[in-house]
A and B are shown apart, each in its own frame.
Chain A
């Protein structure tokens, strides 16, 4: 289908974008890989599209104060090629090739993926596992939101209607960092049926600070905290038994299948965490 008519403005600064979001029925256009598809299907018909692709200062990746900060407009493909991300954000580097296909990754942005918060998407789960944060600018200025507070419901985040997500931030990987990532999709590039983004710290022979963030199993990515504790104690079977996910049936798979697959992924990712060398 063709989109319903809308007005279009290019924002030159974040502040301008925030102000324009104050108009009735306005949406931000960044990568557009999800938004334009919904417009084409007339699932959404905003009155105004605010193009933020030209806003400066949002397209870089920096390593400072032990953290990696990625600007919201960094494209997935850019991130794939970034030496900083490969070195200091190995979990994200593992996840990126699973996002759609090359043509999608050339336009899609990390900020957009986090803000859109598709429950089957990879990057929200990565951010949750990394215990990262989101930086946003709104009418009252800048604020920082922790990942665990950010994803609130199905396609619902802590972003207000006039907020612009400007960056994501998380601790840079050290030599003790261990990461694991796996997802199951019917076809390469499809949204995952179930996925797991995991990280931990190597603590001698064991793992500590285990974070297991599942996606595709609920309205938001979910930390499996009881399983994390069991895995830290070294018992993979106990970790699987401790999984307390409550997925819903969807077009892809039933809840029972998702639960089972989550257990399978946990075993596979646990192996990755154990075998990882930073």
Chain B
């Protein structure tokens, strides 16, 4: 890079650290800018030293104001090295010789002072002070010895050390830079300020002169602002022991510093002076107070004079803290910074040298510091400025924007220093910059009419339009006060930190993560959560930090019962608490203050603050969790990063985790491609378990093969046994030795199935595997689930919950069930059926028992046997399947209770194992462990089946016998003829039908008597019911009576001359008796018959009618042939 014509004097750049070792004294003094404020401080201290016993001071001033530099200068003035002292003295003299002398006298400098320089950090102050003192005094010490000392012991040691050097020096001065940090530490660790009071006491009690000078950014009590009012008061009291010296260099002094910093090559300086003086005039003219600074302002060029004036105020603002001092701006390489400007404009001298204008300064601030400013007290004004400039960019031209930026800077930072943007100043300023009067006037009137700037009479100046009337900053402060008591601030402190058990992962291949939680109260939900066993993919342990001391004990109590929480003791929650309360306040304002809704600027400011607070909470939480002391199961956890603790806990919680190094599947949420590989692998396990490498090709290497090799083959699941490749039930010794944990996992799976009371679902097995001590991940569950089931083939029955929501027995593992194992483990069931000797015997016996019933003899698989039984029952006639078993025909021939029970069970059975091994012994009330079970059961089973199968035959037989008895016939040709006759003669369709069907039955080799029965029962066979069957019996009898009646009256003998006669009466038992006879029609015409009739009439005429009937009936009875008696 070529040499620039303007350079930044680097020595001003860095802030001073008072304790830095080799200070080049000459150059320090050379670059040190002594100004009035600094001299005043020195004067105060020296006067006090001479005339009072005040020895303790605090120097309070903003960041970057040069406090430390002043401290260093003071130390040089008192230095024990006379040459150093002299150089410093000269510097002082150069400012004011009179004061320089009186300073020397007041301190009575002869040997010089011991200077202890201390920079505080967040450690115990008393110990750190003592160490710094030892270092300054060249005393050797042991850090740990000091650490072990109490605060008061430290102070005593400090005092005696100082006093020990009584003769070698004039006194000791203790410079405490960053004293605020020490105060912060005391505040956070909840110690009181007694230490600082004691320290102040020592300065007065000490036998040798002892001065303390501490550097602060804010007063003591400010550091205690998060404390309650009483504490704050106490801190203020301690502050009283220290004389507080304000250190706030004026704008002028800043100007001097800026001027000193800018190093201008002479010709350039001249060119600037010649060309840019005109720019200086409006400033000098309108800000009379700065007229005397003309010389200095010239020196600050090529900064625009207005920029130079604004830099001072800007550097005083809060946001300028943290090394962003004045010099930071001048020297840094940030975008839009002065440095960038110089590189662009001062590599070579131009005719009209450029000035770094306020618009660039605005851009610099906006680009680099926006986020900081928006959370500072300047946020409101700043955001208003941003809004105004945004609008000017939308509506106006370049010059509008420049003017707006200029006015904005003056509004925001100039106001307190009376740098008001009066209309005339702005006009003159821009005219001086070379714009026409007319143009700038128009610009201003535009800006005003667009409400970008506003004229305020009170100050006779233009200001950025205050879009917002709301002072968020104060509102927040008020709100914080209002909410800070009694609010549960932890509600906004949700820790999102997730901690990986990294070491555990590297060792086992299983990724586990822990969550973090800050809790303020223990409720049932929390306790429930602690008790719940996390599943794969859920956090296995939660690092919990109690927000209050009061719940700490209770939390530890819970932690003893739950292996899923670790409890931490935080260092300090103060910062978190105050930030959280601020966030709550901010959120409440956002919610409650209706006016903010309509005030975009205020809303934006509020949102920026909310963002900032949230961010800060996150950061603070991170550091709190990282810094806490952790305990697990009431024991310590290894220190170090949280992930170390997490790994330790994971190791303890899951000691039996099988090692599976496969990132594809050993995880709680396998990727899409991993899932497809898992599915392919499972299909291969289903189809090709008997093949080497499950039949994967040797040459290719698809992911499913990789999973197979790393998760199954190498882990002992799939082995070569004497019966070939398989998922063995018994693992080889080598496999067990190599995969101890995996074998335990397998055995646990077997046990879960074997010792369950009935069926277990795959989900049940998975839950066992996911819990401690295995902690298997979700990706591996289905693979091992299926492998387990494969290994138990023949000993277990499989079930699938189908769309009827019932578990249905599945004869063998199939693709659909494998899919369930993978995807819906709750719907895949398995049950252990160990076939004992008794049961084998049982099967053989049952097999034999049903052999004659359509089953293939020797078939002995449970399913086959059960199927045959089911088939026997299902192919029973419908009515037998539903009959209550009452007898209809014969008292003895009802369905037995056992047969009925067998039928009921079989009809609804869907599980062969349960049917054969459990239900059958239950039905027949047999002991399942009886060695003779097989024999006993097969006899009973056969009887019951016979009984069932015999029902229909018996019913038909019953109906037949009634028919034959009623008709007085046999199933022979005679009956056949009778049927034919009746079929012809019958008028009633019912009887005609009976005759026809019966005839048909007889003619067709006696087949399908059921058709005859249907007529009586009134329904087709499949609709027969107990009731209709019972009614059908009576109906059959009735029909037979009618059959015979028709026969009687329609005896169609070959001779048509014959007439039938029939008479029905009852016998002495009340049974119906039927009589019949025949006579020749011609008989009536015979004379002897006519005479006989008259005689009979005559002989019975004496009787009444009833007796006449009785007499004639009696005679007829003897004449006619009785028909066989009808049954009831």
A binds B: no
Chain A interface residues toward B at CB < 8 A: none
